[in-house]
Structure 1
Amino acid sequence: MTQSSCQLSVNSTASSAGNVTIVDNKAATTMGALILSLVFFLGFPGNLFVIWSILARARKQSVTTLLILNLAIADGSLMALTPFFVIYLVMKNWVIGNLMCKILFYLCLANMYASIQLITLMSVYRLVAILWPRHVTLISSRKIVMRVLVGIWLMVMVTSIPALIFREVRCKGTTAVCDSFHDEDNHVVLQYMLELVLGFLIPYGVIVFSYIRILRRIRQTRFRRRIRSEKLILAIVVTFCLFWLPYHIVNMIQVTWALCPSGTVKTILSKIWHRGRAVTSSIAFISSCANPVLYFFAGKSYIRREGFAFMARLFEGAGIDSGMRKSRQNSQNSKDKDKEADAVMLKEKEAESTNNSSSTSKPVKNGK
């Protein structure tokens, strides 16, 4: 959409005369564009490498590996969208039309939901595998896992529909902005409260509960060798929270602004979320490029031995089910060794008793 078409467009009516937009602040848009550019050059090839490592180099795909694969697909898809937003922030004008406005923000929201739901599922699976290891085989079959993943993606597609409904290109003078219906307070409250509840509060409530139980059990049992893989998953969880928290804080400020009556407070809140939206949204994108970096540092001990397959070996080692198989094999081996030792001790006792009996019978013969 050009500046002249913005002036003539019927669908792009002015949101509120004289109101600022999210691209008006030069410092915020410049910082946001720099962050998104860096995120794209790090995150897009990084997530592609994770996908390639799992599909081409992993010998066997465990439940954890499948979850990380889907997480990389979601993150990589989000990274592929960043050039559009870089252009938007640099030009300070939405130039690719109303349809792309709806589609791009729908895909962004869908990938945000997908990432947090997959991380939540990863945490719940670790909880079941550590607290109730006998029941983990009931949920770890490939067919069940694939059905759960399909269900998650379908749910994500449905919960992201508000972005298609509430997003559109609007004009302020000759500037086109892809934004929500800010003159409709109920739309703002519904959209951002859904994101806050479904994309942050509920998932992180489940995640925090899961890891409190997991860490308690690790301290109480002999699972300490699994602490390395638990640290990797916990790092993914904490990273996602840190980078998305500012975005959800701005969402809450905007919801408060929508519910607040006109006055000085409403004006202040309006300035805060308008100035903070571009930067916090860009920071949220960092979470999608951070995971490959975490994988690299977690798996760097494999690099010399495995080469480009180091990440596949890392994911195979991080699988809780593979760890359980190894522990069962070790326990079985130890049982076999104990049986062998018992058999040897029994033979030694039998030999010793035979020697004792023969030694006691010799004096009798000499006496005869």
Structure 2
Amino acid sequence: MDPPRSPIDNSTDIVNSNAGTNMGALILSLVFLLGFPGNLFIIWSVLARARRHSVTTLLILNLAIADGSLMGLTPFFVVYLIMKKWVFGRAMCKILFYLCLVNMYASIQLIMLMSIYRLVAVLWPQRVSIITGRKTVLRVLAVLWVVVMVASIPAIIFRDVKNGKNGTNVCEPAHNHPSDVVLQYMLELVIGFLIPYVVIVVSYICILRRLRQTKFRRRIRSEKLILAIVLTFCLFWLPYHLINMVQVTWALYPEKGPAKKILKKIWQHSRAVTSAIAFISSCANPVLYFFAGKSYIRREGLAFMARLFEGTGLDSATRKSRQHSQNSRDKDKDADAVMLKDKDRDSVANSNSNSKPVKNGK
């Protein structure tokens, strides 16, 4: 007996679109070949080659773990698109899409933490070590992973194996009501895009304003690197969220008609391609790191990635700022000591001059 169809016809039909299927499979194959070994190399560089694990290094490590895990799932989806049917069972259908959402949430939340850390380092450089201590950062990272795991539960609830129009099993959304569509995709939009990007934009606006107000206007290499990561994530995930909004609009459309059919056609034929494009963001970061660390390659060899993370960023800038402040304080102390010595010499000279008449009187 065939499994019951959902009360709303929300079949994506991605495996029935030859153009979308072939393009999606090609993109995912290239993404896997480039992104999976690239992120593994980043993880190895941080764990085996980095001399110290700063805040930036820990965030980069977790971002590489999230991206690498997402890259590791791509072969399943390549097989799905090529075979045009789901052969991995109902449990894997739910688990794989759940893990995809977890790593998507984790990636953007980690990028948001990078922006917040830079904001704190620029505005309060003397207190950044207290606010962002190693134990505090590890706790924040643990909480972040727990939150994204909980927020991704709808991917398990609203995903199931169904009997497609061509008689084969497909792993597709299982929405029983239009409100399910709104809940799932609006949650993805708010948690995975709107909130983190508002925080990121506000953080960089505050950073730029502060840098313009100070005499310290030297460009920090990691600022460009992190900004490139932010823009790359936005570029590749924006089409995915736009298609989600098209599907939400379709689900909320009051009555059947030409407009509703057009909306459905748009998200049905675009889902496979936009989802595959979203995966590109996870393989783009190793490429960005490579170009950012070109100056380290000849000197450091395979350790160039670790030296890039150690030698750039506001970690070093903040450390230099604190060192400069400490040196200033040390200079002040030395000056005070010199002044005290001068005073002591003056007092000794005065006492000697005052004692000479008494000695002559004897």
Bin the TM-score by the shorter chain: 0.7 to 0.9
1:298 equivalent in alignment to 2:292: yes
Distance 2:160 2:329 in 1: 67
Counterpart code for 1:267: K
Distance 1:60 1:126 in 2: 19
Query: Which one of the candidate residues 226, 236, 247 is aligned to 2:229?
Result: 236
Counterpart code for 2:78: V
| Aligned residue number for residue 92 of structure 1 | 84
Distance 2:119 2:188 in 1: 25
User: Is 1:120–1:203's contact at 8 Å kept on the other side of the alignment?
Assistant: yes
| Aligned residue number for residue 254 of structure 1 | 247
Cα distance change on mapping 1:266 and 1:46 into 2, 3 Å: same
Counterpart code for 1:123: S
Distance 1:220 1:14 in 2: 58
CA-to-aligned-CA distance 1:102-150 (integer Å, 9 cap, x gap): 0000000000000011111110110011012222122221111110000
Distance 1:293 1:17 in 2: 41
1:39 equivalent in alignment to 2:31: yes
User: Is 1:15–1:171's contact at 8 Å kept on the other side of the alignment?
Assistant: no
Output the aligned Cα RMSD: 2.4
1:40, distance to aligned residue in structure 2 (A): 0.2
User: Is 1:62–1:319's contact at 8 Å kept on the other side of the alignment?
Assistant: no
Q: How does 1:193-204 map to 2 (within 5 A)?
A: 193-204=186-197
| Aligned residue number for residue 324 of structure 1 | 318
Distance 1:227 1:203 in 2: 23
The alignment partner of 2:14 has SS state of coil
| Aligned residue number for residue 217 of structure 2 | 224
1:22, distance to aligned residue in structure 2 (A): 1.9
The alignment partner of 1:237 has SS state of helix
Give the unaligned 5+ runs of structure 2.
Answer: 343-362
| Aligned residue number for residue 140 of structure 2 | 148
1:271, distance to aligned residue in structure 2 (A): 0.4
Q: How does 1:115-194 map to 2 (within 5 A)?
A: 115-173=107-165, 174-182=167-175, 184-194=177-187
1:309 equivalent in alignment to 2:309: no
Counterpart code for 2:180: H
1:278 equivalent in alignment to 2:272: yes
The alignment partner of 1:225 has SS state of coil
Distance 1:118 1:248 in 2: 19
Cα distance change on mapping 1:223 and 1:62 into 2, 3 Å: farther
Counterpart code for 1:328: R
Q: How does 1:2-81 map to 2 (within 5 A)?
A: 8-10=1-3, 13=5, 21-81=13-73
Query: Which one of the candidate residues 73, 93, 105 is aligned to 1:101?
Result: 93
The alignment partner of 2:217 has SS state of helix
Distance 2:216 2:224 in 1: 13
Cα distance change on mapping 1:337 and 1:139 into 2, 3 Å: closer
The alignment partner of 2:52 has SS state of coil
The alignment partner of 1:169 has SS state of strand
Distance 2:122 2:202 in 1: 14
CA-to-aligned-CA distance 1:273-321 (integer Å, 9 cap, x gap): 0000000000000000000000000011001111111110110123423
Cα distance change on mapping 1:144 and 1:262 into 2, 3 Å: same
Distance 1:237 1:298 in 2: 15
Number of matched residues?
337
1:13, distance to aligned residue in structure 2 (A): 4.1
| Aligned residue number for residue 206 of structure 2 | 213
User: Is 1:106–1:160's contact at 8 Å kept on the other side of the alignment?
Assistant: yes
| Aligned residue number for residue 363 of structure 1 | none
Task: Report the TM-score when normalising by structure 1.
Answer: 0.86
User: Is 2:6–2:176's contact at 8 Å kept on the other side of the alignment?
Assistant: no
| Aligned residue number for residue 351 of structure 2 | none
Distance 1:331 1:18 in 2: 62
Counterpart code for 1:162: P
CA-to-aligned-CA distance 1:35-64 (integer Å, 9 cap, x gap): 000000000000000000000011001101
The alignment partner of 2:218 has SS state of helix
Cα distance change on mapping 1:263 and 1:19 into 2, 3 Å: farther
| Aligned residue number for residue 356 of structure 1 | none
